[in-house]
Structure 1
Amino acid sequence: MSKPRGYRVAVRALCEFTARSGDLDHRFTPSPSAREGIAGHALVAERRGDGYQSEVALSGEYRTLSVNGRADGFDPAINCLEEIKTYRGSLERLGDNQRALHWAQVKVYGALLCQERELSEVTLALVYLDIATGRETRLTQQATAEELQAFFVAQCQRFLAWAEQEVAHRERRDGALLEIRFPHCEFRHGQRALAEAVYKVVSTGRHLLVQAPTGIGKTLGTLFPVLTAMPRQALDRVFFLTMKTPGRRLALEALTTLGVVREDEEGALPLRVLELIARDKACEHPDKACHGEACPLARGFYDRLPMARQAAIDRGGLLDRMALREVALEHDVCPYYLGQELARWCDLVVGDVNHYFDLNAMLHGLVQLNQWRVGVLVDEAHNLVERARGMYSATLDQQRVNALRRQVPPALSKPLGRVARRWSELLKDVGLSELKSREAPEYRVLEAPPQGMLNTLQQASSAITDYLSEHPTGVDTGLQEFLFEALHFCRLTEHFGEHSLFDINRHGRGRAVLTLRNVIPADFLAPRLAASRSTVLFSATLSPSHYYRDLLGLPLEALWLEVESPFVSHQLDVRTQRAISTRFRDRDASIAPIVATLAEQYRRRPGNYLAFFSSLAYLEAVLEHFRTEHPDIVTWTQTRGMREAERQAFIDGFVPGGRGIGFAVLGGAFAEGIDLPGERLIGAFIATLGMPPFNAVNEQLRARMEVRFGCGYDYTYHYPGLTKVVQAAGRVIRDPEDRGVVVLMDDRFTRAEVKSLLPGWWNL
């Protein structure tokens, strides 16, 4: 008889499952950064004797359960096992449920230590280290090996039924995935090549960049092969990451097509799929603070979590936003934090790219904690460059500091006053003193991090943390937001290097902004890619490949695939207006010929068109002239700060058989990610090369790119701009039956170096 398959769990994960109780409490979470935590552990170890052992690897078994982890420290001379926890603010504010969790961890480690080293007893110590002061608070208790073993067994017994359930689910899941079949009779043009390439890279543990045109079914063409490879390569989890909500919807629809959800539940694929959404969209009580004293769904959350978790797992299949909300409210728990918990137990997670690539991303943290083998799919990956730059950048606004200083409680007036004074000193140091009368914008790049400002900001953060600890209720949200921004700023500074720069923009008296600006996200993204078994990044626009390899941090062995387009040149009439220049100096002169071009094409073939411009100001100037010259042609336009309902109304204007021109900004909400097939859209006008503006910030980017890659101009201006052009033009032809026109309005589109970056099937 074969031995039952075992289940491996980390000590921390075991205790988080068995020892958490009571309320959610997120009144403030200014915990130390990972780097500060590591430094804190090292500081404690330095204070101990020569024989002190750090990071002690321990493991043990109970029936089919294997438990392992690393204890923070053990001193054989005094037979003391330590668990070290770093913190900020007041230790008195640490909840009882957190203390119980910490004691559970050190007790489990103690049981494993006694078992491995044949100890009859051990001293257990919880060491709380204040990051700000270096002061230790030490709590100890004596425990016998028998007591610790009993505690260990009790935790394992509480977890064992769940573990056995998970092992059984894994076997059912893998068995079903071994038999999975493509849901359609045949692949679309190019879809088979895509699926085969994805399967091969997952099987060989490599990464893949895929440029594949719209219309071949990229979502299904990537999900199907990675699920097929999942049991064969022993993948624990798959993450499908998107840039926008429509991408998540497409992924969930594809999974439904694959059989994750069926009316006949017995025939459904035994795969747990979780949709992760933003906290503000999942919150049931946005008017309440996130802790048990204010929110009913936070009160007793961990006491009710086991039942809610089990109900969600029993439901299985697709746990999208609505399904998750239904389960959560049935058990009176927060839908958002139930989703965070279920990310540990679902096979496939569909979420935003920040869930894996952000500095403190939850999914990446789970991969590290549980040592999962994961496959990662990144949709619309051309956007990851700018999204990642945003993730690894931070700003400090002088105007915000001054406004906050005037309204904070007296206890915080001095700390924020010091930040305000430090602003004045910094501006003086870089030659942007506020004593100057002129209000014109000014820009400076700092040669090194402004350590004085950072020290003052950290001191202010500590003061705010202490205040929030003592006044947990009724606190102004603006103060909390500033705290988190300040902590993020300081933490990112710990990672400062040649991939980033510090700069100051001064827009007038009291209106300066200090930015830690990421330029090359590759240095941050590379470790995230390395943590996965395989990552597939796909988009309709990933050319040239070396640009994305360099800026996304792909290793040299990563593969590149360009999938042949299913479209042919006669489907899309691409024309270039050589007589028009959209360069900034020529904008005014370009308006009349652009208006004439729009009207001439519309009257030649009436229907729905999109016209794209480099900015709203440029758009508005052309639109005003167009409406004056051609009042009979229906127009609608993108406006500043459009809400979701307004954006949807703009898209809804493109009805089959309709006639009119929608005016939009290139690179904006309507230039990619929208699907207007058939007669909903028959043409597009593009009055720009899409290049970022030539300004001081972009010139700094260009200089950094030149030093690192030798392609400063192309990497800063040329490639990003033409990616936007191709994305916008891609709105016109969505399937093999579509016919349309794209009018490129700038003489530079005739240049060889520009044409080489446009799709080959356009046949320019």
Structure 2
Amino acid sequence: MNYQVAVRALAEFTAREGDLDLRFTPAPSALEGIAGHATVAARRGAGYQTEVALSGSWGELSVRGRADGYDPARRRLEEIKTHRGDLQRMPDNHRKLHWAQAKIYGWLMCEQLGLADIELALVYFDIGSQKETVLAERHDAPSLRAFFEQQCERFLDWARQESAHRAARDEALAELTFPHPAFRPGQRALAAAVYRNAVSGGCLLAQAPTGIGKTIGTVFPLLRAMPAQGMDRLYFLAAKTPGRGLALEALGRIRAARPQLPLRVLELVARDKACEHPDKACHGDACPLAQGFYDRLPAARREAAQAQWLDRAALRGIALGHGICPYYLGQEMARWSDAAVGDYNYYFDSGAMLHALAQANQWRVAVLADEAHNLVERARKMYSAELDQGRLRQLRKTAPAPLRKSLDRLQRGWNALNKEQDQEQAYQVLAGIPDTFLLALQQASSAITDFMTEHPAHADAALTEFYFDVLHFLRMAESFGPHSLCDLSRRPGYGTLLCIRNVVPAPFLAPRFAAAQCSTLFSATLQPWHYYSDLLGLPDDAACVDIESPFDARQLSVRIASGISTRWQERDASLAPIARVIAGQYRERPGNYLVFSSSYDYLQKIAALFRESCPDIPSWEQARGMQEAERDAFLARFAPGGRGVGFAVLGGPFAEGIDLPGDRLVGAFIATLGLPQVNPVNEQIRLRMQQLFGAGYDYAYLYPGMQKVVQAAGRVIRTPEDRGVVWLIDERYARPDVARLLPSWWGAPRRS
């Protein structure tokens, strides 16, 4: 056995103790950290070395890492840490961890260069002030060796356990069999494509019809491929909770079919959902589950590793049994689990934990992105940022005295920015973000950072929320480019909204795909391929596969309602014809139907007229802001053998991700093309898409709209036994450019 561990991971395992304490936060962004390291290195003399690769071993343990900096002339090794605010506020256990890392690097450097002693320095670089605080100590090689061996000894039992687990896991996965008696039609082709992609180490865009079992059809082949391809982790990423539930269900079925399968499965849950004490701050003086967290973590970690199945409930039970925070136990177990199931943001966001862990530990990871058509819009939100001047105005009235000067300066800078723009325009795009405004924003950020670190008990939700908005805006400003817009929206009486609006997330996502050993993006709606490839930043050699549908046109009658327009100007005139189409279809074949419209307002008008003209037909409708229980009640109306009409908004929770097989749903009416609203923002997106891809209207309106239509229509046919009808209510569905975006297995729609 030869177990490999990174220096940072070794130190974090052996040298952390005491309370969980997040008061010395937030940390600088990754880009700020890189810039800070570069600034420190630029200040050093000739011959200064950066990112020095070091490795060593002790017994069965191989330790590797990259030291931040080394000055051969002074024989000084530097561990550089970027920070914000008063360094005196840093908890002692943070400093102890940093020294542990420096000492491990120090021994590896002494061993590599044959040094008798070495100077170790912790260099704390303040991002705001650009000042360094250097703490230096000289250590002889024997003492550093003793420290290194002590840390290795502490880790060795765990390393042996992990090495044995990995060997058993890989042996079992190499012999894994499909957990069902047979593949469904289309499922085997999907699994084969995913497996081939894992072997080639590429990126795959897989379009596969709803109802064939896409989740287990992608998870199974990747698990099977992991041993031979030397893959360390599988990340299953989803846009919504149902997708994560399906992934856990598939993994649970695989485990059930192979009892004692040594596979650690972790469900990652958002902090606000996992927190046991949302009214308390994350430090030992406030929260009992943070007090002594690192002292009790080893026992909890060992129990969690042995339990292996770590969904939300299991993880919570283990954490509370040891008196520690469930959320942060989950963060810890992300280091030791074989398969992690979570939201897109855990890998694709700017500060994504799973991506950071994979990079720090040089893991070979397989990434699965479920319902990947959602990734475009989700990624746009991840890499967009907005500041509200109205909130700044309110904050200035209640801000602590030490912050008023910097907030006043920011307000003046914001007013100056407003005056520089066209006063008659309610919305306008700026050429860029003015440097003077960014300077004022940076100064305000630094002032708030200093205040919050000096007054950790100060509770002000408005200040905290504004602060995090500022930090995110500054981070997005660092990477501003043609992929984003900077726009200003005027709201009389409330100031302006300043937004960095990402429209092409490709530059941010491309490095994430490149970092994965293999990645598969799958959905029932991923055409046209070039649209998703361009916006998501897929590599040039990405493979595309369109799995043949097990369904055929005999199962689904697709009709286009001629002579009806759902354009905004003609919607009132469309109400009565739409109601007649719904009523006619229902009278022809009574059963459960869904009607999709483009907005709540349109939905309510159609539903009201339908109820008035057909009072004998049961109907129900989606309301704004429905809670989970209300959504469940809405779906419960679609009972087997039931009859009635449900009204819902296209793109909402009932338009994708729900399963109503058999006669629970026999038809759908889609009274819209799903096109995004024509407004100044979307028009600017259209112009930018035209500049970048030469297909502005298609990229901004047509493709996103038709993706929602096909998803909604996909609710009707869920199994090979289903029979149903889809009404496409708008004359534009007959246009060739629209018709070519409909699934080929539908056949030619019939005009009625």
1:275 to 267, 271, 283: 267
Give 1:44 shift: 1.8
Structure 2 residue aligned with 1:103: 99
Matched ranges for 1:179-328 at <5 A: 179-258=175-254, 260-261=255-256, 267-316=259-308, 318-328=309-319
Structure 1 residue aligned with 2:381: 390
Structure 2 CA distance for aligned equivalents of residues 470 and 326 of structure 1: 36
Mapped contact 1:28–1:480 kept (Cα < 8 A) = no
Structure 2 CA distance for aligned equivalents of residues 114 and 319 of structure 1: 41
What percentage of aligned pairs have identical amino acids? 62
Structure 1 CA distance for aligned equivalents of residues 726 and 45 of structure 2: 74
Q: Structure 1 pair 588/511, CA: closer, same or farther in 2 (3 Å)?
A: farther
Structure 1 CA distance for aligned equivalents of residues 127 and 293 of structure 2: 29
Q: 3-state DSSP class of the match of 1:570?
A: coil
Structure 2 CA distance for aligned equivalents of residues 130 and 214 of structure 1: 52
- Per mean C-alpha deviation after superposition, the further-off stretch among 100-109 and 114-123 is 114-123
2:502 to 518, 537, 541: 518
Structure 1 CA distance for aligned equivalents of residues 541 and 92 of structure 2: 49
Structure 2 residue aligned with 1:349: 340
Deviations 1:437-488 (Å, cap 9, x if unpaired)? xxxx811100112222221111111111111111111411221121111101
Q: 3-state DSSP class of the match of 1:128?
A: strand
Deviations 1:37-81 (Å, cap 9, x if unpaired)? 222222222222213222222111101111111111122222221
Q: Are positions 1:31 and 2:15 aligned together?
A: no
Structure 1 residue aligned with 2:43: 47
Give 1:583 shift: 0.7
Structure 1 residue aligned with 2:591: 607
Q: Which amino acid aligns with 2:263?
A: L
Q: Which amino acid aligns with 2:550?
A: P
CA RMSD, 1 decimal: 1.3
Structure 2 residue aligned with 1:579: 563
Q: Are positions 1:668 and 2:655 aligned together?
A: no
Structure 2 residue aligned with 1:381: 372
Q: 3-state DSSP class of the match of 2:85?
A: coil
Q: 3-state DSSP class of the match of 1:631?
A: coil
Give 1:261 shift: 4.3
Structure 2 CA distance for aligned equivalents of residues 751 and 656 of structure 1: 36
Structure 1 residue aligned with 2:476: 492
Q: 3-state DSSP class of the match of 1:292?
A: coil
Q: Which amino acid aligns with 1:405?
A: R
2:406 to 415, 423, 434: 415
Q: Which amino acid aligns with 1:292?
A: G
Structure 1 residue aligned with 2:449: 465
Mapped contact 1:379–1:537 kept (Cα < 8 A) = yes
- Mark the runs of 5 or more structure 2 residues left unpaired by the alignment: none
Q: Which amino acid aligns with 2:432?
A: A
Q: 3-state DSSP class of the match of 2:554?
A: helix
Q: 3-state DSSP class of the match of 1:134?
A: coil
Structure 1 CA distance for aligned equivalents of residues 409 and 649 of structure 2: 42
Structure 2 CA distance for aligned equivalents of residues 653 and 268 of structure 1: 40
Give 1:510 shift: 2.3
Structure 1 residue aligned with 2:609: 625
Mapped contact 1:461–1:483 kept (Cα < 8 A) = yes
Name the TM-score, length of structure 2 as normaliser: 0.98
Structure 2 CA distance for aligned equivalents of residues 756 and 86 of structure 1: 53
Give 1:624 shift: 2.1
Mapped contact 2:596–2:648 kept (Cα < 8 A) = yes
1:332 to 303, 308, 323: 323
Mapped contact 1:110–1:122 kept (Cα < 8 A) = yes
Structure 1 CA distance for aligned equivalents of residues 114 and 357 of structure 2: 32
After the TM superposition, which parts of structure 1 deviate over 4 Å for at least 4 consecutive aligned residues? none
Structure 1 CA distance for aligned equivalents of residues 325 and 207 of structure 2: 40
1:760 to 719, 744, 749: 744
- Per mean C-alpha deviation after superposition, the further-off stretch among 677-686 and 448-457 is 448-457
Mapped contact 1:677–1:735 kept (Cα < 8 A) = yes
Mapped contact 2:77–2:121 kept (Cα < 8 A) = yes
Mapped contact 2:575–2:606 kept (Cα < 8 A) = yes
Give 1:28 shift: 5.6
Structure 2 residue aligned with 1:119: 115
Deviations 1:694-726 (Å, cap 9, x if unpaired)? 111111111111111111111111111001000
Deviations 1:215-243 (Å, cap 9, x if unpaired)? 11111111111111100101011111111
Structure 2 CA distance for aligned equivalents of residues 169 and 676 of structure 1: 41
Structure 2 CA distance for aligned equivalents of residues 587 and 450 of structure 1: 42
Mapped contact 1:505–1:514 kept (Cα < 8 A) = yes
Q: Which amino acid aligns with 1:57?
A: A
- Mark the runs of 5 or more structure 1 residues left unpaired by the alignment: none
Mapped contact 2:24–2:91 kept (Cα < 8 A) = no
Structure 1 residue aligned with 2:67: 71
Give 1:560 shift: 0.7
Structure 2 residue aligned with 1:21: 17
Structure 1 CA distance for aligned equivalents of residues 591 and 394 of structure 2: 51
Deviations 1:573-625 (Å, cap 9, x if unpaired)? 11110111001111111111111111221222222111111111111222222
Q: Are positions 1:635 and 2:623 aligned together?
A: no
Q: Are positions 1:402 and 2:425 aligned together?
A: no
Give 1:196 shift: 0.7
Structure 2 CA distance for aligned equivalents of residues 179 and 132 of structure 1: 54
Q: Are positions 1:527 and 2:518 aligned together?
A: no
Q: 3-state DSSP class of the match of 2:398?
A: coil
